[in-house]
Amino acid sequence: MPLDHDLAARMAQPDFWPLYSFDATAVRAHDEARGEAGEEDEEEFRTRFLPARELGLELRFEPGFSYVDLAVVSPEAAEPEIVGWDDTAHFHPHVMPWSELDLLCRATALHDPTLRHPGAMSALLLRFAFLTEQDDLDTITPFTDAAFAETCPHRISDAVVLSTGPAGTAPADPAHDIAHGAVRVREETRAWFDQRDLRGTGVTWSTRPDGHRAVHQEKDSGTHLYSSRAPEATEEEFPFTAWSRLLRGATRTLEDAGAHPALRRPETRRALDRCAEPDGHTQLSRLATALRAAGLTEGPLLRAVTRPSSRAEAAWAVETLAGLPQGRVAAAWFGRSPLADARTWYLDLTLAAAGHGSRFGSTFAAELSAALEETGLGWAETTGSTSVRDAKGGYVHASDLLTVLVRDDLPAAVRVIARRLQAHGAARTADLRHSGAPRERIPLPEPS
């Protein structure tokens, strides 16, 4: 089933991805534009993906409400069964590991040649996938980058950021970085990594007594697992049976594609073995010649070998044709992920309101965010405020609360935060802590 026409057209508009990521500025602009146009009905988009016969996924997105959900579609259920949802309040987006998302996208691409992988499906559904210790960034990063490159072409010029490098160095011009061997990923890829990296947070996968896989979190690390796919969940809370059937159907789709008689020919096997090597992407034309000579003259896999939309697409095609494990060829072709050493921290910064203007919190957050972004260290935003009763029984503004995301170099980011606080005379009363338990306080360095 091709991507819904209305959704495909909406995805081509520059504000789609900011809305899909619940960017507050984009949401306000969207609401204002609809109000000025007199549009009362909110936008709603639905699209289905079919990785297996009669088994699929339905995605529903409501931009005006900052809401998106994912459901399983099967003949046994009268209505799609929700597996996860994302919003700005009571979200449960942690549905699947990368390996399952990749499997479903590959199978869908085989069923529907218009839905290439990586592409729109993987870009849209990445918000329902997350990272744990079992996941391999060497495999995941190139697919994620390619998915966003395919679906966000209008953002290519400003979407790549330096993911590694000396602490505190600002992202440079992309052409300069490429020429000097700098390793880069797209900003959308890094943002997904920041939001969905649950490695080291006590998240583990297990098999339930009924044979279905479930996920749970053993400790409170500040980065929480929000999933209905829990070991103790009922079928009403998470459709385990339908989800397992969907994965089995997708697996059969890939197995059937890899069972073509042409793939048993010695010449084809030699060409596939050569393509599985680190420089195998240079041998795709020879593989295509061998496939055609053996009788495989059409289909999504041959197209992925002869006219790939990205090197990642050719990689999974070779894996499917050769019967290799997911990610084996991609890891060989792309090497070590630029995110391999990446780290993300979430911090809580509390600013005392006394002695400052009423808008100090929002002004400081914007200033701090700009300073962190300029050095490639993260961003900051206001998340609330506190008030206390005064002697007359009323309430007065007591403090502002900020969330700070730090990338890769925590000490450097803390120095930036300290300098900004000192410039406003707010360092002595500010409180900086890790967001996760045990919420350790982070000392601020003295002015140098």
Share of the chain above pLDDT 90, in %: 75
Same-domain status, 378 and 425: yes
| Among candidate residues 253, 283, 311, the one where a domain is terminated | 253
- 202-261 per-position pLDDT tens digit: 999 999 999 999 999 987 666 789 999 999 999 999 999 999 999 999 999 999 999 999
pLDDT value for 331: 95
Average pLDDT taken over every residue of the chain: 89
Same-domain status, 294 and 373: no
Over residues 336-353, the mean pLDDT reads 94
Question: Is pLDDT of 286 > 90?
Answer: yes
Question: Is pLDDT of 159 > 50?
Answer: no
Same-domain status, 46 and 184: yes
Q: For residue 399, give the CATH number of its domain.
A: 3.30.70
| Residue 91 is assigned to a structural domain of this protein | yes
| Residue 439 is assigned to a structural domain of this protein | no
**pTM score of the predicted model:** 0.89
Q: Residue 154 — pLDDT band, cuts 50, 70, 90?
A: low
What is the rounded distance in angstroms from the CA atom of residue 235 to the CA atom of residue 221? 28
| Residue 46 is assigned to a structural domain of this protein | yes
Question: Is pLDDT of 79 > 80?
Answer: yes
- 35-76 per-position pLDDT tens digit: 877 776 788 999 999 999 889 999 999 998 999 999 999 999
Same-domain status, 318 and 187: no
CB 400 within 8 A of CB 351: yes
Range of 121's domain?
A: 5-253
Question: Is pLDDT of 7 > 80?
Answer: yes
Calculate the CA 321 to chain-centre distance: 27
Question: Is pLDDT of 392 > 70?
Answer: yes
Question: Is pLDDT of 302 > 50?
Answer: yes
Question: Is pLDDT of 110 > 50?
Answer: yes
Question: Is pLDDT of 163 > 50?
Answer: no
Cis preceding linkage at 118, omega within 30? yes
What is the rounded distance in angstroms from the CA atom of residue 149 to the CA atom of residue 427? 41
Same-domain status, 59 and 191: yes
Same-domain status, 209 and 165: yes
